[in-house]
Amino acid sequence: MDPYSRQTSVVLTHPMGNDDLLYNGLVDEGIEVVCDPMIDTELIKIEDECREQLYQSRRIIFTSKRGVEYFFQQVKPADVLDKSFICIGKKTAQVLEKHGMKPWWVSSGRTASDLVEELQQAHIRPNEKWIGMLGELAENTLADGLKNVCEFKRFNVYRTIIADQQNEKTITLLKAKSPMLVVCTSPSCFNGFVRLYGDLIHEEVGFASIGPATSKAMKKQNVVPTVVARLSTYEGLWQEMKIQLKPQYR
C-alpha cells in the first residue's frame, strides 16, 4: 500500500495527551486522523514488600513517564531523597525533575536494552541493591541484563488496560477498504488493534512501529511494518513518517 496519499487515513492507537506530537503533526499535514486508543493505565498499589525493598535499595530505575507519576502518587519525594534515580530517556527524566528529583543516570538510548548495555559498561560497586518501578507488561530485560551489575528487584507500579470496544470511525474505514496507516507506539497498542479489528484488516492497511519491541509484536502476527522509527520515541516516529510524507508534496 501507499500509506501517504491524501486519501489515506491514519489511526492513532495510543492515549492522547494535551499536546500530542503525532496528532498535531498529521493534522497540520492535512491527513485525516482517527484517535482510537487501544490502551489505558491504572495504578498498582505499592505493598509493604516493595516499600521495604525500596528503602533498602540504593538506586531506583524508571522506564517510563507513567512509572514516575504512579510512583510519586504513592511515595513522598522526601522519603527517597537518599536514592539515586536512573531513567530511560530524557522525557522520563523530565517528569522526575518535575517532582523535584534529579536523575543520577539518563540513558542515551530509548529502550531497556540500551540502558542495560550502558550500565554494563559503567563502574558500579558490587552488591548494590537496585529496584525497578515498571509497568506490568514490561519484559524482564532489566532483570536479565543487570544480573552482573547489581542486585536488582522488579516491582510493577502500573498496569495496562486493553480497550474492549470498537471505534465506529475505524470500523467505517476498514469496511470501506480505505487506505489506512495504523500507528502503534507499543506492543499493547498493536495487539489491542488486532484483537478488536483483526477480521477486518485488509491489504490497504499498513502499520507504523515506534521501535524494536513493537515491531517484534507485529512480526509475531506475520505483519511487516510499513514505517519503523529509527529512534524509539514519538519524535523519532514522527520524523520517519515526515520523511515518507515529503514526496507527495513535491
What domain range includes position 235? 9-38+166-249
**CA terminus-to-terminus distance, the chain:** 20
- What CATH number is attached to the domain comprising 80? 3.40.50.10090
pTM for the model? 0.77
Q: Read off φ and ψ for residue 204, nearest 5 degrees.
A: -90, 5
> Which of the residue ranges 40-44, 137-141, 244-248 would you say has the lowest mean pLDDT?
244-248
Residue 245 has pLDDT above 80, yes or no: no
- Identify whether residues 181 and 201 lie together within a single domain: yes
Q: Read off φ and ψ for residue 30, nearest 5 degrees.
A: 80, 20
The pLDDT tens digits of the residues spanning 225-237 come to 999 999 888 899 9
- Identify whether residues 70 and 122 lie together within a single domain: yes
- Identify whether residues 132 and 208 lie together within a single domain: no
